[in-house]
Amino acid sequence: MKFGLFDHLDQSAGPIHQQYADRLSFAERCDRAGFYAYHVAEHHVTPLGLAPSPLLYLSAVAQRTRNLRVGPLVLPLPLYNPLRLYEEICMLDQLSCGRLELGVGKGISPYEIGALGGDVSQAEPRFNEAIQLLQLAFAQDELSFSGEFFSTQATPLPLKPVQQPHPPLWYGVLKPSSAEWAGQRGMHVVCGAGPVEEVRDTVAAYWSAYRGNAPGTAGLLRQLVIADTDAEARRRAVPAFRAFRDSFTYLWNHFGDPMADQLLPDDMDQVIAHGEAIVGTPSQVSDRLARELEISGANYLVCRFAFGSLAPDEVNESLDLFCEHVMPALEHSCQPRSESVRQ
């Protein structure tokens, strides 16, 4: 069983420069604790994400860590010139000495895509063309490509990644059809937070479709708040999730979209019941996670410790309790399938 981290870098109460500093220190702690990878979301014009350039942010993380793998989850390819993105991917893989985990996707927020001049109706064909160009670039020293959105002829590619032919590819999935698509292409997946029964169906579709040359990975994502007592964990979690929800729904509310009220539950018990979060003591969290990992069929646990209004010391306490109590319990109780995170 491998353990990873996911971070929206949603805005906290303090100064933004201090939040960056706190997160870099957090990444160092996770590196020392033996976590596998630190995955970071990309968002624009919203307090949901203060890493609109995740590769830039992760280059700083890579310099502060030694073993922790780093990667965006995900880069919305329709927003990029894929040739320039190829060069930046190669740079980060070189700067991190081959520790990049490359998450790609279409992007799901029409307001973010629109703010950057994109057309959400073109997101899928632009994504398909961009990933085709990227894969060709990784395999060649000179690129010629002619598509509907991107074209280049006899372009030299002197910059290459450390990992050959390219860093491991990841895809965020919410439903079985997208998991099947990723599995057929040998990609790794992380399932968005939701009821474990839904995650089980999505993971099953992934394993049924997986055709990769290297072992596959199906990640279960959970937000975690851990404290010595259940009451203290809930005291911290309630305002933290309220702040996170405000950031999550910010753009929908800003544009008066009624979907805002349907994106996330607003009651703490509903949040926990729906699967977005696990809150409690180390033993409570261990028991819940062991059950969900067994039901889901996932072989990678992706934890979100830092979010909303949680103070750095509260985040660090959750992390420390997880490493001291939860991680050993899960390593002992969970027997993941033979497909495992690629080392």
Comparing C-alpha atoms, which of 137, 155, 62 is closest to residue 100? 62
C-alpha span between 89 and 165 (Å, rounded): 12
Average of per-residue pLDDT across 118-134 = 96
Residue 154 exposed, middle or buried by CB count within 10 Å (0-12, 13-18, 19+) = exposed
Whether pLDDT at 223 is above 80: yes
C-alpha span between 282 and 105 (Å, rounded): 34
Whether pLDDT at 116 is above 80: yes
pLDDT band of residue 337 (cuts 50, 70, 90) is: low
Q: Which residue has the higher pLDDT, 339 or 145?
A: 145
Share of the chain above pLDDT 70, in %: 97
Comparing C-alpha atoms, which of 208, 162, 159 is closest to residue 181? 208
Average of per-residue pLDDT across 173-184 = 97
C-alpha span between 122 and 307 (Å, rounded): 32
Sole residue written with tokens 């993105």: 85
Give the helix/strand (H/E) hosting 70: strand 69-72
Average of per-residue pLDDT across 222-232 = 97
Tell me the three-class secondary structure of 87-135, residue by residue.
HHHHHHHHHCCCCECEEEECCCCHHHHHHCCCCHHHHHHHHHHHHHHHH
Average of per-residue pLDDT across 167-195 = 96
Q: Is 216 helix (H, G, I), strand (E, B) or coil?
A: coil
C-alpha span between 297 and 300 (Å, rounded): 9
Residue 343 exposed, middle or buried by CB count within 10 Å (0-12, 13-18, 19+) = exposed
Q: What angle do CA 201, 305, 281 make, to 5 degrees?
A: 85
In tens, the pLDDT along 244-276 reads 999 999 999 999 999 898 888 888 888 888 888
Residue type, 329: A
Average of per-residue pLDDT across 118-142 = 96
C-alpha span between 224 and 276 (Å, rounded): 9
Q: What angle do CA 23, 27, 32 make, to 5 degrees?
A: 150
Residue type, 189: V
Structure tokens at 299: 């072989």
Is the Cβ–Cβ distance between 194 and 188 less than 8 Å? no
C-alpha span between 6 and 254 (Å, rounded): 26
Structure tokens at 147: 């598509």
Q: What is the pLDDT of residue 71?
A: 98
pLDDT band of residue 342 (cuts 50, 70, 90) is: very low
Question: Regarding the domain delimited by 25-36+172-343, which CATH topology (the fold level of the hierarchy) does it fall under?
Answer: TIM Barrel (3.20.20)
Residue 237 exposed, middle or buried by CB count within 10 Å (0-12, 13-18, 19+) = buried
Mean pLDDT score of the chain: 95
Tell me the three-class secondary structure of 289-325, residue by residue.
HHHHHHHHCCCEEEEECCCCCCCHHHHHHHHHHHHHH
pLDDT band of residue 335 (cuts 50, 70, 90) is: low
Q: Would you list the domain boundaries of the chain?
A: 25-36+172-343
Q: Is 263 helix (H, G, I), strand (E, B) or coil?
A: coil
Contacts of 65 (CB under 8 A, 6+ apart): 27, 28, 30, 31, 38
CA atoms within 13 A on the CB side of 164: 5
Whether pLDDT at 21 is above 90: yes
Average of per-residue pLDDT across 90-103 = 98
Average of per-residue pLDDT across 152-177 = 97
Whether pLDDT at 115 is above 80: yes
